[in-house]
Chain A
């Protein structure tokens, strides 16, 4: 094992893990940041989405050894008081059913709006199709992204 330093939600951490350990398991098992979810381990479902340098990344396939010097934001650090426009819109539209995939959905959506504050339906489909929701909240996710877009514009 080797020691790795990483910056998560603007806080520095040192962890002692194998170089191939995916960021997901460092966040969950070492840092106890349980908002980032394990879903598939092969970047197929998006439940583990976090931001690295503002881009949405599937943390289940991102090894710790490639993180040196990068700034990681997880759902716990997306906003100080849970009031990021996407989080507010998610509450306003009351999107979740079981809620398990939603932190990943929110991280992907917030990154989309960072790049495209006023996305079209096609933009939303393209950005969000990597995130699975087995409960089928897709219609509400779409609504909430549009609502967040409105909030950002105003």
Chain B
């Protein structure tokens, strides 16, 4: 029996016009904006049941293709015992009561994971109150009753009462302190391929996205941005641009800033017109002078040189176990090293970045597809100088996001323009804007070293990470799913030449490339099977006593190492069973043992994202008639993510992640010359197409554990699995992506 205590969590009142209204309030759901009392953080009408039994669920999470608008109500409906056909969702505007983690921000593959308990408790509580109402009417014990498809049923006499009939009376009962949750075997919707609630609107062309926003009296805007990152506007001549029919106004976009300095709005010149096309067209006729502030000497090749210069620098260690430096020097021990590059990558989401804003003097409305209504609201309030309570952000579905719409630059720009013009402004970025002014996946170089003892054991592991972004603080955790007795990790931030941000699976994607390639290299070097080699590194339960913290540490340094050890032990304890289950399953299926003919290869990689673990086994063919010199023929993914709420969506997320990662592997990497991004659209920032898509098979390890997230975990292991397969086929070790034909040249030293 699962019981839960939810003091102050749920409040039930009578719905206007009859029925039941459930609100959620709890200190844990309090907002982070600081303007509301934490105790009063209450989200009204989270769930309503009217007198006809119609159920409305308030969707506070962003829908960007991951299925949140269907997956979340499935969880609620299952516990409630609802008839799926009587349930609808209502999209919520961002409310400053929503917290960052549970309500106000969507990201980190956390939507289902974080809402699982909340929704099950809410659904079960409403169900028990409806049951109790029926029990009171029938004068029976509520525990004897069943709930099914919006009905409370007495199995004794088959008496039935619909939710709608019960809802008003139920709303007057006391909210139970604790309720029993369903057992997984009794789930009706969870675990089933329930159809996506957006599909019908999508196929008839009525699905709404930010870019479809249409406000009475709005004007259309497009901004010619400085082509060099952080360059400044010096002056401009708009006389030719103003001659384009439909142009209303032209104004500079400078100094648009939010308190959060990581939200960058590039300087530019905005054309305001009576249609998007007129604004696009007029932009081309602007004559603009920029002040590049020497940033036009930045290039990718210079950046790589900077990386190389930093490779040999002795960095302050982050996490240390044992004494890596000492075992390196031991007689007869070999140090084996390799370095791996992850380039800048663009998001290239299908719906170009946009936002519509209406500044009204004392308030402002924003319409935008965003992963963070909270960040949009706060940044807009900073830009226009109104308190957050005066800003309403209408969060619309978005056409793909992958981390990009966590950044709210377009909302800031639209609000800035609307305030200047004092009318509603719809801002649309062109595809060229979207590629050139992305918040790119950071450039990362991972340097790995292993110390191999005389008896061919890995006794030491070192990771040095250089990255153009600061979100590597937890890197030591991502680096060490495997146990080594001597470890040293360090990292350094290198100043970026373009803006960077979160890109599907964030740092796991970059870190997995090096780690899982290097593990493969080590397995081959030691003559071991890649699955057995990994299992060997996971074969024992790690206790805190296994961590050997250097004797000479004290004070803060000692405490830091103790904290690292505890965190690593904790994550390891959460993840180890999942790694082992997946690897054993691959071994059992003999996916890596299948005979491969000439030019064919198979490769494996495995990675965790949060608590979810995913492995891919990839089959490739070397073929120099193709663009990349090889084809990816087949990808088989195995995932352990706890309960899969909707297997159709789950499989889709893994398939999509594989295809997303393959685009980066075959065509990714942003070139920068003279400070400018050298890609502009889909002809040079290529994405995988239907005819290049391999056969994909996705399996889930059966589990009744709580769901741990699926939007991102399929991305990281793809690239290293392909690189490992290329080595398996050809003996060529590629240590970067994208993999180009020119990288596939056999160097004699690479043959193992």
Contacts and interface: CB of A to CB of B under 8 A. Distances in A.
A1 interface: yes
- What is the predominant secondary structure among interface residues of chain A facing chain B? loop
Contacts of B349: 134
A117 interface: no
A151 interface: no
Contacts of A102: 202-203
Contacts of B196: 94, 96
Interface in B261-288: 275-278, 280-281
Contacts of B688: 136, 138
A44 B193 CA distance: 33
B691 A136 contact: no
B151 interface: no
Contacts of A106: 203
A131 B682 CA distance: 11
A90 B64 contact: no
A25 B276 contact: yes
Most buried by A among B64, B195, B399: B399
Contacts of B280: 41
Contact of B351 (A17, A41, A98, A138): A98
A106 B682 CA distance: 20
Name the residue in A41, A90, A124, A136 with the highest tally of chain B Cβ atoms < 10 Å from its Cβ: A136
Interface size class of A (residues with CB under 8 A): 35 or more
B621 interface: no
B399 A101 contact: yes
Interface stretch (B48-56, B406-414, B547-555, B654-662): B654-662
B657 A96 contact: no
Contacts, number: 182
Contacts of B683: 42, 44
Given A40-B682, A76-B205, A95-B199, A29 B276 contact: yes
Nearest to B698: A139
B656 A135 contact: yes
B60 interface: no
Contact of A98 (B193, B212, B398, B659): B398
B535 interface: no
B428 interface: yes
B351 A100 contact: yes
B436 to A, nearest CB: 14
Contact of A96 (B198, B206, B430): B198
B435 to A, nearest CB: 10
Contacts of A132: 350, 682, 687, 689
B205 A74 contact: yes
Nearest to B275: A29
Contacts of B687: 132, 134
B64 A134 contact: no
Nearest to A100: B399
B275 A25 contact: yes
B245 interface: yes
A94 B205 contact: no
A2 B205 CA distance: 29
Nearest to A88: B203
A46 B721 CA distance: 31
6 contacts: A18-B246, A39-B351, A82-B204, A135-B350, A136-B655, A142-B690
A148 to B, nearest CB: 11
Given A38-B352, A133-B350, A98 B681 contact: no
Interface string B644-683: 0000100011011111100000000000000000000111
A65 to B, nearest CB: 13
B634 interface: no
A29 B656 contact: no
Contacts of A32: 214
A98 B653 CA distance: 11
